[in-house]
Amino acid sequence: MLCFALADSRSTVRPTHTTLAMKIAILGTRGIPANYGGFETFAEELSCRLVQNGHAVVVYGRTNNIRHTGSEYKGVRLVLLPTIPHKYFDTVAHTFLSVWHVLFQDVDVVLICNSANSIFSFIPRLAGKKTVVNVDGLERKRAKWNWAGRTYYLLSEWLSTFLPNAMVTDAKTIAQYYLRRYGKHSYFIPYGADDRRLSSQAALERIGLEPEGYFLYVTRFEPENNPLLVVRAFEQVQTGKKLVIVGDAPYARDYIQELKSTSDPRILFPGAIYGAGYRELLSHAFCYIHATEVGGTHPALIEAMGCGRCVLYLDTIENREVAGDTALPFQKSPEDLAAKIHAVLGNPGLREEQQTRARDRVRNHYRWDQVTLEYERLFRELLGQSNPQQLSMNRENSELTKTRS
């Protein structure tokens, strides 16, 4: 079995329409247009760019999530299938149906998102389709899972190392974990972002916000994402600015109720916001707070950096990998976060410096066009379409290392 690990050096090679078009299926997410989380945004950004590069792409979605009425979205074919709307069955039930559906489709490569779905990744292989699993982070560490859920995710990690043709990790920390625990290399391909800032302010006007008049945190309302810690920290800060926490969660009613019980009128919960509204909030935030502690590369973190926002992040290995020296870390305590908020409020020069460096880091390491190119390279390698001389150059440019196992 051949496994590869891609480092984050970036080649300037661009895809062309003269190469052979591939037929690609993406499944394991709630579908597109994205209206939930990171994997959905990933599926949308990647699939649309693959189509622009001349490939045929189908994305599978869930009927209880996608409200788009057309059979296509920006050139991407959509297949909506039912699922079991339950915390423990939603993902795997839908992926099970999607895998059996894709068996009868004219598809070269099947990209499966989420390690929980790796148990199905051998099925397309039996039909001669190349299969890739993007494992994401260490999902079993999330507090919402009981012992059965954690055990299943641990099993899924192991299955991801040999059932698909290739395994992708989007953070070096996660790649090192799989190498250390299972002795398996993976393709490291990071999550993407862009550096667009929107001048429009429609979302701000709806919520009652002023540009740079608020701190922002976008997350699912789950304990390991620590929105309650952010609320408790902000309650200690004397400022006229507001705190806006955007998001929701389908299976965390008690936690959300506790979270929203704050009596501080400066703290707002506008619900989940996607698309242009989400981008507007990022573009005009005074500072972005990132408090997640489980997972690999978190989309909202690099998207905030791409918008040139000053970022305060919970100091974990994964978050530190993404932010580098372009953001300010805080420890897992309301008091430390409150101190960092005070530091940003009292030092305009520090904030401006961090904003410039954050945007530059995204431009150099997390561009969606480059992420798409690296997935194309991986798919072509699996299909045997790579020119040996070009592949050798690509490996050198991308610091590609190979291990036989």
What's the pLDDT tens digit per position in 164-193? 999 999 999 999 999 999 999 999 999 999
Residues 355 and 386 in one domain: no
Residue 164 resides in a domain: yes
Closest CA to 292 of 254, 318, 322: 318
Whether 252 and 394 map to the same domain: the answer is no
The pLDDT score that the predictor gives to residue 251 is 67
Q: Which of these, 70, 73, 64, 90, lies nearest to 26 by C-alpha position?
A: 73
Rounded Cα distance between 362 and 82, Å, is 37
- 317-323: long-range contacts, CB 8 A cutoff, minimum separation 24: 317/173, 318/137, 318/171, 318/173, 318/174, 319/290, 319/292, 321/171, 321/172, 321/173, 321/297, 322/171, 322/297, 322/298, 322/366, 323/358, 323/361
- Our count of domains for the chain comes to 2
> 263 with 326, same domain?
yes
- Mark whether 41 and 165 lie in a shared domain: yes
Would you state the pLDDT for residue 283?
Answer: 96
Q: Are residues 269 and 181 part of one domain? A: no
Residue 144, in any domain of the structure: yes
d(CA 95, CA 405): 28
What range defines the domain where residue 225 resides? 202-365
Q: What is the pLDDT of residue 232?
A: 97
Per-residue pLDDT of the chain (405 residues; tens, 9 = 90+): 334 444 333 333 344 444 589 999 999 998 888 776 678 889 999 999 999 999 999 999 998 877 777 889 999 999 999 988 776 688 899 999 999 999 999 999 999 999 989 999 999 999 999 999 999 877 767 766 778 878 988 999 999 999 999 999 999 999 999 999 999 999 999 999 988 899 999 999 999 999 999 999 999 898 889 999 999 999 999 999 999 999 987 767 888 889 999 999 999 999 989 889 999 999 999 999 999 988 778 889 999 999 999 999 999 999 999 999 999 999 999 999 999 999 999 999 999 999 999 999 999 999 999 999 999 999 999 999 865 444 333 333 333 333 333
Looking at the domain assignment, is residue 114 inside a domain?
yes
44 within a domain of the structure (yes/no): yes
Task: Measure the CA dihedral 87/88/90/96, to 10°.
Answer: 170
Same domain, 273 and 381: no
Pair 51, 177 in one domain: yes
Same domain, 99 and 184: yes
- Same domain? 144 vs 219: no
337: in domain: yes
Mark whether 231 and 357 lie in a shared domain: yes
* Together in a domain, 320 and 381: no
pTM equals 0.83
Whether 251 and 339 map to the same domain: the answer is yes
The reply to whether 197 falls in a domain is no
Q: Which amino acid is at 389?
A: Q
Residue 45 domain flag: yes
CATH number, domain with residue 275: 3.40.50.2000
Is residue 133, in this structure, part of any structural domain at all?
Answer: yes
